[in-house]
Structure 1
Amino acid sequence: MKLSLSLQQDIQAPELVLKRAYLKKVVETTLRHIDTQSDCEIGIACVDHAESHKLNLEYRKKDKSTNVLSFPSDLPDEMAQVLPSFPIGDLVICIPVVLQEAAEQAKTPLAHFTHMLVHGTLHLMGYDHETSDEDAEEMEALEVEILAKLGLDNPYMERD
């Protein structure tokens, strides 16, 4: 599997320096863990509160900014055989929300950003945590396994 990644960084944060090679490693680790074989493309946009709020309101009817929004590709799966690289979709990650949540949860900004990147990538691949408790448990378990492969702690464990 080969991954093509496009990155749009509309907001910079000194406490969260993102390198394309690291983002690619996180997404590739996620896709390999769920046994994705096809070459694929993903877009990642790092945005501010205003952009996240606008998109969350427009697409999810929620009047607030959010940590990550996932926009899966609407191409049929059969196209994966035809295209040299299959677009799996786009992620929009709100940097201020990620930084705030990281502080509230006593996590490093990079660890929490990585969790949101894994979480969003799983959404792009069809995983959902809002439809049932079983789906939520499956998705959380995958996140924990993937983050462990990346050397990160279980984000769902209670901290002292």
Structure 2
Amino acid sequence: MTLTLDVQAACSDPAPEESELRRWLDCALGEAGHARDAEISLRLTDEAEMAALNHRYRQRDGATNVLSFPADLPPGLELPLLGDIVICAPVVLREAREQGKPADSHWAHMTVHGCLHLLGYDHIEMADAEIMESLETRILAALGLPCPYTFSLEKERFAS
């Protein structure tokens, strides 16, 4: 499997190197069983652009951490295009600080999360959320990173 990645940096906030983004996406695709070539566009943006996208496509106010836009290819068209991921750098950095997580761990989680949405995973229904969260945890473990759903809880427990 070969990943073609187009990274667009549309903000001035600190963000991971393209090599790290690629490593996280490669791992996510592999652990999710995606054996075909893949093309992903990844845009790193500011809060104003993310808020506009969130309002336009989800009818929700404010910036969110990550949005995914799976490719909508006609049936029978076999292209490796998976879609677009948009990550809001200031939101990811703020969430990492608020949750007591290393920024790189949270960046990896948001990148993996966006990739899984491109592959059709979702978390609207509880059963689907459990499947997606389990896969995210497995992918992050393969990358040597902690479970994103227990890290801040463990930190709080040890601080008490």
Question: Quick one: percent identity of the two aligned structures?
Answer: 46
Aligned to 1:73: 71
Q: Which amino acid aligns with 2:126?
A: D
Q: Which amino acid aligns with 1:109?
A: A
Q: Which runs of 4+ in 1 moved over 2 A?
A: 76-80
Aligned to 1:4: 4
Gaps of 5+ in 2: none
Aligned Cα root-mean-square deviation (Å): 1.1
Aligned partners of 1:145, 1:72: CA distance in 2, in Å?
A: 22
Q: What secondary structure, in the 3-state scheme, does the structure 1 residue paired with 2:94 have? A: helix
Aligned partners of 2:56, 2:149: CA distance in 1, in Å?
A: 29
Aligned partners of 2:62, 2:15: CA distance in 1, in Å?
A: 25
Aligned partners of 2:34, 2:134: CA distance in 1, in Å?
A: 17
Aligned partners of 2:134, 2:10: CA distance in 1, in Å?
A: 31
What TM-score, normalized to structure 1? 0.92
Aligned to 2:30: 32
What TM-score, normalized to structure 2? 0.92
Aligned to 2:101: 107
Gaps of 5+ in 1: none
Q: 1:17: how far off? A: 4.0
Aligned to 2:110: 116
Q: Is the 8 A contact 2:15 2:89 kept in 1?
A: no
Aligned to 1:46: 44
Aligned partners of 1:57, 1:67: CA distance in 2, in Å?
A: 13
Q: What secondary structure, in the 3-state scheme, does the structure 1 residue paired with 2:26 have? A: helix
Aligned to 2:88: 94
